[in-house]
Chain A
Amino acid sequence: MKCLAPALALLTIVVGSACAPAPPTETTIRFHYSHFEPGDVRVRAGVPVTITLRNDDPIDHEWIVGPPGVHEVHRHGTEAVHDSRPTEVTVPALSSRQTVITFAPGDEAFICHLPGHEEYGMTGRLSART
C-alpha cells in the first residue's frame, strides 16, 4: 500500500491538470470610471486571442499592452491615435474596439497612457498561459 501512495499522488496531479480549464481565447475588458474591469486578465498563450475593449466612459481611452519597455516609450510618446498595431488601441468615448493578439507565455501590463490616466489607476495585468 505504501508504494502506491506516490503513484496516487501523481495520478491526482495529472487528472487535476487535465481538468483545469484552459485559459480563454476571447475576453472583454470594460473601461469604467477610468479603470479597467477586470484589472487582471488571463488568456491562452500561443494562439490568437480576441480581446473586446468596451469604453463605457464619456472620454477617450487607450489600451496598450506590452513589456515595461513599451510602456516607457508611450509615457513619452507622440502618437495621438493608435490604430495600426493590435497591442496598441485607441478606444474613443462610449465605443468598442476589437483586437486579436497571439501572446507568448508570460505576464504583461496593460495601461492607458493618456495624460494622467496611468496615475489615476488605469492599469492592469495580462497573464498568458498555455
Chain B
Amino acid sequence: MRNLVVGTCSLLASLVVAASPTFACAGLIGSNGAVNLGRTTTLAAYHDGVEHYVTAFKFLGGGGQFGTLIPLPDVPSSVEKGGAWTLQRLVRETTPVRAFALAGAAPTAARDSAEVLLETRIDALDLTVLKGGGAAVADWAHEHGFRLSPDAPEVLDFYAQRSPIFLAAVFDGDAALQRGQQLGDGTPVHLTIPVENPWVPLRILGLGKQPTDRVDADVFLLTDNLPAILPGQQNGLNVTYTKAANAQLLDDLRSDQGMSWVPDSAWLTQLRVGSSVADLRYDLAIDASGLATPSRVAAGLEPVTPAPPERPQRDPLNWLFGMVLGR
C-alpha cells in the first residue's frame, strides 16, 4: 500500500506528492515522509488595522505539483507578489555583524464544501483562499488530487476552530522549470489582511513531520509599538531582536514592491523558532494595541470555548417571584 500511495500521490499542505521538489514554507512533507523544509522566514507587519503577511515559497527543484496550506486570521483583501528583498533586508538588519566587519560595512540598499474566496497565480504558484472547516478544506485538497498527512485532521481543526480561512499554495514544478526558475529561487507572496491584531501561525510548520523532527523559522514583526506577545519566551521560541526600527531600514523596506505602506516609525522584533514538532503546539498571538493583552486563544494556549446557550428571557415579575421563593 505504502509504496503505491507514495508513488502516486501529490502533495499539498501536508499534502504529499511527487518526487523531491519542495517549498521553504509551512506544512510540507516529502514523498518519502521525510521533511525537506528549510528555515522558514516570514514578516508579519501590522499598521492601521491591517496585517501584512509576507512569506516566500522557495523552489528546490523537480516537476509536478505540490503545495502547502497556511491558516489565516481572516479574509485577505489582497494576495500579490511580495517585494523582492524585504525578507532578505530584515535578515540583514537583525543578523549580528562581527566587529571587524563593521568598519567597512556600508548601508545596503534596500464537509460543507470549502468556499473559494480568491484565486490568483503568482509566477509558478497557484494561490487559493478557502473558507471552511478542517474537513471542508481537507475535502477540497482531496478533490484537487492531494493527500493530507495523518496529523492534518487534528491540526486543521486546531486552526479552523479559530479562523476558517486558509491559503492553499500549489506549486507547479513544471511551470517553474519552464519559467527558468533556479534551485533556491523564492517566490515572495504578500497577503494584506484587515484584522484587530496580527497573528502568525506556527504550529502549522510541523504539519507532516514526526514529533521528534525539528522546526526552524524566523518571524519578523513590524508593529507601530513594542508588541506584547504570547506565548512568552520559552524553550524553542526566543526573541532574538527587539528594537525601534531605524529610518534606513524603513526607507529600504518602503522602496520594495508593494511596501509603500511601511510607516515612518515602527518597532522591529525578531523571533526565532527552533523547536521539536511535539513542543510546537502554539501560534504567535500579538497585541499591537499597547494594552498588552494578547489572546491566549489566538496563541492556541486555550481552546475556543463555544458560546453558552442563550438563557430564555425571564419575565421581570417571574424573576422577582423566583428571587422571593429562592428559586
Contact = CB atoms under 8 A, between A and B. Distances in A.
A22 interface: no
Given A58-B135, A58-B138, A59-B138, A114 B154 contact: no
Contacts of B214: none
A58 B111 contact: yes
A25 B210 CA distance: 36
Interface stretch (B2-10, B51-59, B318-326): B2-10
A113 interface: yes
Interface stretch (A6-14, A36-44, A76-84, A96-104): A76-84
Contact of B139 (A75, A78, A93, A113): A93
Q: For the side of the interface on A, what is the size category?
A: 20 to 34
Interface in A64-102: 74-80, 82, 93-94
B95 to A, nearest CB: 35
A40 to B, nearest CB: 20
Given A94-B111, A115-B6, A34 B1 contact: no
B1 A80 contact: yes
B40 interface: no
- For the residues of A in contact with B, the DSSP-based class is loop
Given A93-B139, A94-B111, A115-B16, A59 B1 contact: no
A116 B1 contact: no
A91 to B, nearest CB: 13
Interface residues of B, number: 29
Given A58-B134, A115-B33, A78 B3 contact: yes
A56 to B, nearest CB: 8
Interface stretch (B119-127, B141-149, B267-275, B293-301): B141-149
A99 B142 CA distance: 25
Given A59-B147, A62-B1, A116-B33, A34 B6 contact: no
B286 interface: no
Given A77-B1, A78-B4, A80-B5, A114 B156 contact: no
Given A58-B139, A116-B149, 7 more contacts: A34-B151, A77-B1, A77-B3, A78-B4, A113-B2, A119-B33, A119-B210
Interface of B: 1-6, 8, 16, 29, 33, 111, 134-136, 138-139, 142, 147-154, 156-157, 208, 210
Pairs A-B, 9 closest by C-beta atoms: A58-B138, A34-B150, A58-B135, A120-B150, A33-B154, A57-B153, A77-B1, A78-B4, A117-B150
